[in-house]
Amino acid sequence: MIDKRSFKARFLEMLGRDDPPEKVAASFALGVTISFTPLIGFHWVIALALAFVLKLNKVDILLGTLVVNPLTIGPIAAVALPIGRLVLRAEREALSHLPWREFLSLSFWVQAGPRMRAIGLQWAAGMIVLALIAGSLTYVVLLNLIRAHRARLAAATAVPPGVIPEHGLPEDEEPEPPGFRL
């Protein structure tokens, strides 16, 4: 049978419970930054490589790469495309003028290729801008949250003044000898 406490302790240790807050925040934020890059399909490989090189927590960085996933890529791409257009000072590509009835023919792709390439470049530029913003914000917010959480835990487990930590007794009281009871 799996003990809940030992499982929780192992899980928290795996997530970097004992690591400095800066290292935990940096690991997750780098994962988020990687997830926003346009290199879809290579996020985990890049994340693990950077985790080994930078000696960051591998689990935290991999969890960060899950921010952009099949459920979130649509809304994120919808935001990234206008940002990419703005960054590249590009015109909006008119896809409505393409012969969509010939979608499976070579002539469609010959005609659509340059437009699709321009849209892909705009999307990639927007995703890189979003990656920098999301990664930076994630680091700052997560660092503050971890520090606040650890401060609350430290305050909750703090020893009141006058108590001996080993015994839990005030300093002026003597502990009873073992086996002695009145």
CA 10/CA 37 separation, integer angstroms: 31
For residue 3, name the pLDDT band (cuts at 50, 70, 90): confident
% the chain with pLDDT above 70: 78
Task: Evaluate whether residue 169 is within a structural domain.
Answer: no
Domain range spanning residue 83? Answer: 4-94+112-153
pLDDT the model gives residue 45: 94
Number of domains in the chain: 1
Whole-prediction pTM value? 0.74
Task: Evaluate whether residue 81 is within a structural domain.
Answer: yes
Task: Evaluate whether residue 24 is within a structural domain.
Answer: yes
Q: Specify whether the backbone of 6 is left (phi greater than 0), alpha (psi in -120 to 50) or beta.
A: alpha
For residue 140, name the pLDDT band (cuts at 50, 70, 90): very high
Amino acid 136 reads S
Task: Evaluate whether residue 100 is within a structural domain.
Answer: no
Task: Evaluate whether residue 38 is within a structural domain.
Answer: yes
Task: Evaluate whether residue 129 is within a structural domain.
Answer: yes
* Average pLDDT in the chain: 83
Q: Does the pLDDT of residue 62 top 70, yes or no?
A: yes
What is the pLDDT averaged over residues 122-130?
94
Q: 28: closest CA among 49, 50, 70, 57?
A: 57
What is the pLDDT averaged over residues 18-36?
92
As given in the structure block, the two tokens for residue 120 are: 């892909």
Q: Does the pLDDT of residue 53 top 70, yes or no?
A: yes
